[in-house]
Amino acid sequence: MKETLALGRIAGVRVGLHWSVLVIVALVTAMLAGGRFPDAHPGHSAWAYSALALLTALAFLASLLAHELAHAVVARRNGVQVEGITLWMLGGVARLRTEAPTPAAELRIAGVGPLTSAVLGAALTGLALWLDALGVSALVVEAVAWLAAINLVLAVFNAVPAAPLDGGRLLRAFLWHRTGDPVRATRSASAAGRALGWFMVVTGFAAVLFRGNLSGLWPALVGWFLIAAATEEARHAELGGVLAGLRVRQVMTRDPVTVPATATVAAFLAEGPFGAYRHSAFPVLAPDGAPAGLVTVRLVDRVPLQARPTTTIADVMRPLSDVATATPDEPVVDLLPRLETSADRRALVLDAGRVVGIVTLADVSRAVSWLTATTRPRA
């Protein structure tokens, strides 16, 4: 899930928003302002309902962020690299660059999320009771009570033992500990996730078709996401089993052709496709030889013809901060998620601050094909 708007860093973790987060803000605001608040406490102005509903929706996002931050902080303490957190329509996701090293680490990383939501729910329940005792507006107490309830619901729902929910991670940690096989454990947790997803889809659409309740679309949507995410986790687990022990240096293209950042677009195009630049993507080097970014033919093609003699590669390249990178000895299975979410489906391989290779999804697919073919039993 790529972020649309970066919010900065919290506790050293990059935090961003996906544009779809506006959907959940709008839904929560409309639900509270148009239903729960006026039904429970009539007599207030529409402006008061709307303003408090919007603040409540934003506080709900903050609680989702706290849940994901807990995952990220504990993951880093257990030696797992964290790429960042993105909030989106169906909640939040902490993007981990590497897998948990042990079942115990997986247990800690997964368990802290529901625990955080449960603690928030309990604290907000206490706050609602305290505000009510102080005689604060019943409408404000209602908003705090709703936040308390939704956090408790999140804690319970996330604890369900089905991937990709936190409970599915807990189930995976347990099965991993029992069997010693992380791939088999992931496969079982993913199967539970797909079963839960189909249950939610069927019951959600049944509520719409037989009871005319359009709110059933929401659990159906969540269920569909669970099915897709659980299937993806199972696929990654299978790939992890095939790619186990394989290092980036074994699949990368060594010593790739590079382009100087100071070269003009016109000079670059003059060398391809039959000259020095025969590929579609190239690492870009600064004058001192350090990696500066990645340029692709697609990026170059966006430059108008009349501007190409004066436009440099540095003006059009994707900067290094936006390019997936890896080290030669990094496991391929850890790089794969970053490759799949990168804009160019490529990663630069860096060693001691120098470009030593480039990896594409095609390189990984080729390795998987060979490994599968050489290990598959003959009929």
Query: Would you place residue 375 in the very low, low, confident or very high pLDDT band (cuts 50, 70, 90)?
Result: low
Active-site residue, 232 included: no
SS3 134: coil
Question: 82-117 b/e with 16+ CB inside 10 Å = b?
Answer: bbbbbbbbbbbbbbbbbbbeebebbbbbbbbbbbbb
Q: Does 377 have pLDDT greater than 50?
A: no
Average pLDDT over residues 18-41: 91
Q: Does 4 have pLDDT greater than 80?
A: no
CATH of 248-375, one of 3.40.190.10, 3.10.580.10, 3.40.50.300, 3.40.50.410: 3.10.580.10
8 Å CB contact between 165 and 158:
yes
Average pLDDT over residues 25-34: 93
pLDDT in the model for residue 1: 60
| C-alpha span between 323 and 303 (Å, rounded) | 20
pLDDT in the model for residue 137: 93
The neighbouring-strand residues paired with 9 are 14
Question: The tokens of 36 are what?
Answer: 């729960």
Catalytic residue, chosen from 3, 68, 106, 330, is: 68
Give the predicted TM-score (pTM) of the model: 0.77
- Bridge-based pairing of strands 5-10 and 354-360 is unpaired
pLDDT in the model for residue 374: 66
Average pLDDT over residues 264-279: 84
Average pLDDT over residues 121-138: 96
State which amino acid sits at residue 274.
F
In the predicted model, what is the mean pLDDT of the chain? 91
pLDDT in the model for residue 144: 97
pLDDT tens digits, residue range 191-234?
999 999 999 999 999 988 888 877 788 889 899 999 999 998 88
Average pLDDT over residues 112-133: 97
Average pLDDT over residues 116-139: 96
H-helix segments, 212-274: 217-243, 248-251, 265-270
pLDDT in the model for residue 112: 97
Q: Does 378 have pLDDT greater than 70?
A: no
Give the residue with greater pLDDT, 242 vs 54. 54
pLDDT tens digits, residue range 161-203?
999 999 999 999 999 999 999 889 999 999 999 999 999 999 9
From-to residues of CATH 3.10.580.10 in the chain: 248-375
Average pLDDT over residues 283-287: 96
Give the residue with greater pLDDT, 377 vs 212. 212
pLDDT tens digits, residue range 58-117?
999 999 999 999 999 999 999 998 888 998 877 888 888 778 899 999 999 999 999 999
